Amino acid sequence: MITFTRLADIRNIEKTALAMGSFDGMHKGHTALIGRAVSGAARSGLKSAVFTFSNHPKNALAGKIVVRNIQYPDDKAATIEALGVDYLFSLPFTERICRMRRESFVEELLRGAFNMAEAFCGFNFHYGYRAEGDAESLRASGAALGFPVHVMDAVRADGTIVSSSLIRTLIAEGRMEECARFLGRNYFIKGVVIEGNRVGRTFGFPTLNMHLDAGMSVPAHGVYVTECGVSGRRLAGVTNVGVRPTVDGEGRRLVETHLLDFSGELYGQSVCVAFLKKLREERRFENTECLVRQIEADCKEARAYHETPGKRDGIDRLSYEKGGVRNGTDAGL
């Protein structure tokens, strides 16, 4: 897949069957739409292509983070490539693009820069200044300019429309099993292991600690069954997201993972933590003895989950094989 991140770099490309959208998470609806574009390209003798923004338009307009990511940019690109896409146009949402009227958007960007011969979009696709363009206006442009437009209906899971906003809500509420059904994979975060205050060691449950990416969605405070990609291995874990009220009172939010079958130092190494199921809410215990008993129970429950046949089968391999951390010592999980 050839990736373009600047308009100025796009030149001399072949005609494309273009899938358009924010694709901010690559959930089941996104992959279905891009899959149709790839199939359409093969049928029509075109190159398959995806047009998306490298920054969320709402964040660009607000000048701050108002919409958090549910997938890292490199993982998004890896997922798109795995679908068989030839060209990825991942451009920043700039002032120029923001102010383009819908006619210019079609003629200058879609037809001009991206050499689009066939268009694929979702039922709720909007484009142009103040989102004045929609799927129907794109169909009208296609009829006038001579390119077919394929508009995909909503994709549903469990009878509910799949959407990025719904997935963000599920993550924020800690409903990770439901999230996986809509996302099509387990939600994960990744980063480099940093040194904590080693409190877990004094309880007999050492943890790996990670910096939180300010732009990523973080699951609700609580204790989760997790699977971790560490140094090329997949390890069962228990992860606490929260402020450790029994130990710290009300401190800053942390993500701490205890690996069930691992011993050793991981400082400076890259890890990926996939959230499989929420076990319980984070809460303050009367004393550390009560906390330790609860951690023991959490580990027992997590181990039983991991040992249940079929429970780990849905974990997305791409997250580990192509979506691994690239800013640490282990590029890929």
Q: Residue 4's Cα: distance from chain center in Å?
A: 20
Class of domain 2-157: alpha beta
pLDDT number for residue 324? 39
Higher per-residue confidence, 316 vs 72: 72
Strand partners, 278: 224
Higher per-residue confidence, 38 vs 196: 38
β 149-152/126-127 pair status: unpaired
Higher per-residue confidence, 207 vs 44: 44
For residue range 320-331, list pLDDT tens digits in order. Answer: 443 333 333 232
Percent of the chain surpassing pLDDT 90: 70
Average pLDDT, the chain: 88
Report the alpha-carbon distance of residue 249 to residue 268 in Å, rounded.
27
Report the alpha-carbon distance of residue 250 to residue 197 in Å, rounded.
15
- Does residue 113 surpass a pLDDT of 70? yes
CATH 1.20.1090.10 is right for the domain spanning 186-321: no
- Does residue 315 surpass a pLDDT of 60? no
For residue range 35-90, list pLDDT tens digits in order. Answer: 999 999 999 999 999 999 999 999 999 999 999 999 999 999 999 999 999 999 99
- Per-residue tokens: 177: 């099993």
pLDDT number for residue 251? 65
DSSP conformation letters of 256-292: EEEETT--S--TT-EEEEEEEEEEE-----SSHHHHH
Cβ contacts of residue 55 below 8 Å, gap of 6+?
92, 93
pLDDT number for residue 308? 86
Percent of the chain surpassing pLDDT 70: 88
Confidence of residue 200 (pLDDT cuts 50, 70, 90): low
Count the alpha carbons within 13 Å of 56 in the hemisphere toward its beta carbon: 20
- Does residue 233 surpass a pLDDT of 80? yes
- Does residue 318 surpass a pLDDT of 50? no
pLDDT number for residue 246? 67
Listed by start position, the domains of the chain span 2-157, 186-321
Contact between 26 and 182 under an 8 Å Cβ cutoff? The reply is no
Cβ contacts of residue 208 below 8 Å, gap of 6+?
193, 228, 230, 256, 257, 259, 266, 271
- Element holding 238 (H helix, E strand): strand 233-242
pLDDT number for residue 202? 59
pLDDT number for residue 198? 57
Strand partners, 20: 51
pLDDT number for residue 230? 81
pLDDT number for residue 286? 75
Higher per-residue confidence, 295 vs 320: 295
Report the alpha-carbon distance of residue 257 to residue 244 in Å, rounded.
13
Read off the amino acid at residue 116: M
pLDDT number for residue 323? 37
Provide mean pLDDT across the span 295-321: 74
pLDDT number for residue 247? 66
Provide mean pLDDT across the span 237-253: 77
pLDDT number for residue 213? 85
Among 85-94, 204-213, 253-262, name the most confident range. Answer: 85-94
Asked whether the domain spanning 186-321 has the same topology as the one spanning 2-157, the reply is: no
Provide mean pLDDT across the span 132-152: 97
Read off the amino acid at residue 19: A
Higher per-residue confidence, 8 vs 318: 8
